[in-house]
Chain A
Amino acid sequence: MSTLIAWGLLALFAAGFAASILRDRWVRLIGMLAMLGAATGALWTAIGPVAGLWVVAPGLATAVPGPGPARRRLVFDPLVRRAAVIGFLAAAATLAALKFPIGDLPRPLAVVLWNLGALGVSWIVVAEDARESLSGTVLAIAGGAALLFLGSGPGGLTVLMVGALAAVPALTVLPVPGRVRGQESALLAAAGLTVLLLLWGTPSAAGVGDLTFSLRPPALLAVAILFLSAWALQPGARGLAVLPAALMVLTTSPALRWAALAATVALLQEPEGRDRQLAWAGLTLLATSVVLGDALDSAPRLRLVLVGLAGGWLLLTAGRRTSVLQATVATLFLLIQTSSVASGAAERFQLLAVATGALLCVLLLIEPGDRRRRGSAGLTIVALATLTPTGTLATILLVLDTILMEATADAGGAGAWRHLRTLSRSGWPPTIAFAGRTLAVLAAIETSTLLAVVSLVLLLALLVVPLLEPQPAQATAPAPRRGIVMAAASLAIGLVPGWLGRLGHL
């Protein structure tokens, strides 16, 4: 009976799959809902009736926008490209489902869940229109999170929340104004409140139903940084991304954490561009490595997960126009994930960090663009890979420096403010950049020779970077208050970085 149901769900999914990629308007919509239905059934088999809660939000996000526009007739090249991408990802997903069984889930149902995510990703990569891109995002997050659920027994609230996060990208089609009223004050107040919580102390964890949140100082510090960056960078409606990002930092559920990261990244994407594809490739790598790892023995599993973490982080941060908020969130995600890396795996992760740092150094030298950011990113992963308190503090400082550089990039001003801004954007002491770089190199030297060499090469490259980048013309507009605050904060934290470490109990 169960086999029959499994094959029936697979058939339903296949029909929905075919309808949604071959037809348009109502048939496409029904096809997508059929796929979601089949996936719900598959998930039900694995985790029980709570799977019904998972589909609520993605279903609504798919159905509410309506059937969408009629399909355009594609010319040969895009058509072949689209067919190749969808076909390749579907084949790869099917192969993964058949080759790497997860738990007791029947193979046909595994094929359904894998293909739901794969179709979502392929629609993001080769979307025919905005509607398909949006649906692709929802399906990718929902499918990825469903796969991550398979290894655990999630509670109802967690499942509902994951579903809701999958639907979050649909909010981008709502007519949200560029700057939400009161957003700045709210973000600043949230950052201040988090710092107060850090100072006063909180219980180490809190929970609502089956949802548990870590309230340890490092997590609260990360949340404060997120709010501060959203305030400083003024991403407008995209500032909403800080909410799932904060959830990502605080939650203890791996599936919820990944879904929150994916929702954040989805909210921060520009509609077009190569960086969007890079980001989704990174998210796919992160999720796939964990899901595939569940089907392997402990040693190969660990290798796969570490490679997924390093590669995924790189793809999420290395784009030339990747938003600073996205890079910040990706780094915080990596920081959380590596905080539990066993000491036996540390050496392998350090090798990966060396390779990633070296790649960023090469990119910095051969590709014009934001070279300083790439150099800082290289030092960040090196510092992070040391798995030491000094390395963690260096990571936080380098993240803050990247935020500051972006926040003061267009600031004008004259006189004393101009000097303050110039100093805060330099690599001299006592800037936050100097403190972060110095501590990163120190942590690397303390940890391993390879890390030390790469960190020193990156530091040398960062010394030369100002000479490689063409200088923007001096802005003459009055200095924004936000820029002044950020520059002063850079110098203050750079002067006593140890205080930040003590605040976050690093």
Chain B
Amino acid sequence: MPLVYQALLPFAILLGAAGLASLPDLRQRVGAIAPAATGLAGVAALVVLLELKPSERVDLVYLRAFPGADLAVRLDGLSLAFGAVLLASATGLMLARLRATGDRRNPWRRWLLTAAAALGVVLAGNLLLTYIALQVLTLAWSGALDETAPRTRTLRLVQQAGDLALLIAAGSAIRSAGTSAFAGMPADAIGPLVLLLLLVPVATRVATVVLAPPPPRGTVAFVPAVAWVAPGAALFLRVLSLAAGRPFNRPVQVVVFGAALLAAAGLSLWAVSAHSWPRFAAAMVGAQAAMVVAIGVLQNPLATVGCAWLALQLVLVAGLASIQPSEESAARGIATLSLGLIPPATAFTGVWLAVASFSGGRLLAVGIPLALVAGLATLAVGRHLSLPRLSFRWPDDLWAAIILVLALLPAPFAWGLVLPTARTVRSIPASTLGIDWLGLVAGSLRWPTLLVGLTALAVWAGLARLRLPAFSGLRLSLALPALPRLTRPVPSAGISWLTVTWVAYAILLVIMVQR
């Protein structure tokens, strides 16, 4: 099949399934169709990724619909890897939803449309189309055709306002380079200030993940992993790729690194005192997302690989956390460990890659703060870890097992998804990273993932069996601030303000005539 059609195949499958989900006759049976269609779409994205040569980028323009924003798809390592991972997460969540008993709603059409919109964000070929796709995504996950609908209103507004940064960036790119398309945009088309501004949509999504009210017990939350984490992470890496992996000068780099680490530390601290496991999971997903940003701005090839690793695994980990594995299940235990930052968490590999890229004084400057954050995250994990019982529950435990295998045997994940993503962000010399079945090699350092992972798993199991006293000293209270009751008609400000406004305008006109 020509690539031009192949690129549209995942969308066609998802939208076709969503169409089927709308049919009254199939509404009850679409539960089986939705995960199959999403999985098929993910496989289609993966097949395209495997067909691409290393570092190859293909831009397909379908329609010149919007001035400055052709309806174009960008196929490269970054977009296809994230597409595959987000669709894998979506499939897993749908499968988990089939088993969930606490929710009688029929979510399939909305979930399929959300997955398609998220894929649109990831595959968009230019900045303006990314902005439009993010708006469509917000509409899809919220389902709020009526903008005044009170449900999720604050979250919607925060994301919509944050996404304006993308519009500004698109305008700046068009102004300086004549296009907002990723293809052919010079690395300096967007200034450092706008690049910094582009972190706002990422930050709003992280904040949404952390502050959104937790789903009811026994339900599956589809949105956080698929609609917030995956597009946010992909967007961050895309921002890095726009500046060829080196977006900021040293002072800005230090400030962003420090701010992201502070955010990660704060969220880990909050996770320590979280009352419930969903709150702990949300805080730790936020902490890992902050770590993605911190490592992403380190701006060297190995750190970029680490950032790509962290970002891609985060989508899967956030998905596993969103299905709320039952207490004392193996999936809950592995999910809790995976939300941390030390082995056997998959995230540790990304952190290790970032640290391994430095030596001497810089190693201390980067490594010590990272270690402190990792320590806080470990406290949080220790507080919420419980010893699992030996039983198998589909699909939670399978998903958890896959994540554990990624941590122990990272080679397929690194070869298939992480390296193509990192190579899209910046050039990665062949000698930067060695990958074999037992671990990773960076320069002269070897990281035996299998050995360390198994040892860490044993240590954690032992600690859990000992039932260490929970960390309960610190209690932080963080709640989503409610918007003021804006639906109530605002009382009239009175004639005085109106008069002042009009008089000021008239005076301005007179001045404009005179000068």
Interface residues of A (CB under 8 A from B): 300, 303-304, 306-307, 310-311, 314, 348, 351-352, 355-356, 359, 362-363, 366-368, 389-390, 393, 419, 422-423, 426-429, 434-435, 438-439, 441-442, 444-446, 452, 456, 459-460, 463-464, 466-471, 495-499, 501
Contact = CB atoms under 8 A, between A and B. Distances in A.
A497 B67 contact: yes
Contacts of A423: 145
Given A389-B67, A459-B164, A366 B171 contact: no
Given A367-B493, A429-B139, A439 B145 contact: no
- Counting chain A CB atoms within 10 Å of each CB, the highest count among B128, B493, B508 belongs to B508
Interface in B58-85: 63-68
A445 B509 contact: no
Contacts of B170: 442
B477 interface: no
A362 B502 CA distance: 10
Contacts of B5: none
A452 B171 contact: yes
Given A359-B502, A468-B489, 7 more contacts: A355-B512, A428-B136, A435-B66, A438-B131, A441-B167, A468-B490, A495-B65
Given A307-B509, A501-B67, A464 B171 contact: no
Interface string B485-515: 0110110110001100110110011001110
A300 B157 contact: no
A366 B489 CA distance: 11
Contact of A368 (B487, B490, B502): B490
A497 B153 contact: no
Interface of B: 63-68, 128, 131-132, 135-136, 139, 145-148, 153, 157, 160-161, 164, 167-168, 170-172, 174-175, 483, 486-487, 489-490, 492-493, 497-498, 501-502, 504-505, 508-509, 512-514
Across the A-B interface, give the 8 residue pairs with the lowest CB-CB distance, nearest first.
A445-B171, A467-B486, A466-B147, A366-B493, A496-B65, A422-B145, A466-B148, A446-B175
Contacts of A348: 512
Nearest to A443: B171
Contacts of A441: 164, 167, 171
B171 A359 contact: no
B67 A464 contact: no
B489 A442 contact: no
B64 A456 contact: no
Given A423-B145, A446-B171, A452-B171, A359 B505 contact: yes
A300 B504 CA distance: 21
Nearest to B150: A467
Nearest to A465: B147
Contact of B497 (A366, A442, A444, A459): A366
Contacts of B498: 363, 366-367
Contacts of A497: 65-67
A463 B153 CA distance: 11
B192 to A, nearest CB: 16
A300 B512 CA distance: 10
B326 to A, nearest CB: 37
Contacts of A389: 67
A498 B131 CA distance: 17
Nearest to B491: A368
A464 B486 contact: yes
A314 B135 CA distance: 31
A423 B504 CA distance: 38
Contact of A445 (B135, B168, B501): B168
Do most interface residues of chain B lie in helix, strand or loop, or is the interface mixed?
Answer: helix
Contacts of A356: 505
Contacts of B493: 366-367
Contact of A439 (B67, B139, B161): B67
A334 to B, nearest CB: 15
A362 B505 CA distance: 11
20 contacts: A307-B509, A307-B512, A348-B512, A352-B512, A355-B505, A356-B505, A368-B489, A390-B68, A422-B145, A429-B136, A434-B132, A438-B66, A439-B67, A441-B167, A445-B171, A446-B175, A467-B153, A497-B66, A498-B65, A499-B65
B486 A355 contact: no
Nearest to B504: A359
Contacts of A304: 513
A351 to B, nearest CB: 7
B164 to A, nearest CB: 6
Given A368-B492, A428-B135, A463-B160, A470 B171 contact: no
A442 B512 CA distance: 26
B338 to A, nearest CB: 35
A467 B487 contact: yes
B148 A471 contact: yes
A300 B513 contact: yes
A144 B168 CA distance: 44
A467 B502 CA distance: 25
B427 to A, nearest CB: 31
Contacts of A359: 501-502, 504-505
Contacts of A452: 168, 171
Contacts of A442: 67-68, 128, 167, 170-171, 174
Contacts of B161: 460, 463
- Counting chain A CB atoms within 10 Å of each CB, the highest count among B139, B167, B492 belongs to B167
B146 A426 contact: yes
Nearest to B505: A359
A120 to B, nearest CB: 23
A460 B167 CA distance: 12
Contacts of A368: 489-490, 492
A426 B147 contact: yes
A310 B65 CA distance: 31
Contacts of B497: 366
B168 A393 contact: no
A227 B135 CA distance: 32
Contacts of A362: 501
A300 B510 CA distance: 12
Contacts of B175: 445-446
B157 A463 contact: yes
B448 to A, nearest CB: 49
A363 to B, nearest CB: 7
Contacts of B490: 368, 468
B135 A496 contact: no
Contacts of A501: 67
Given A311-B509, A426-B145, A470 B489 contact: yes
A21 B45 CA distance: 82
Contact of B513 (A307, A366, A445, A469): A307
A393 B492 contact: no
B185 to A, nearest CB: 15
Contacts of A445: 167-168, 171-172, 174-175
A393 B513 CA distance: 29
A66 B497 CA distance: 46
A429 B160 CA distance: 12
B65 A464 contact: no
A307 B507 CA distance: 11
A393 B504 CA distance: 31
A390 B171 CA distance: 12
A32 B218 CA distance: 84
A446 B65 contact: no
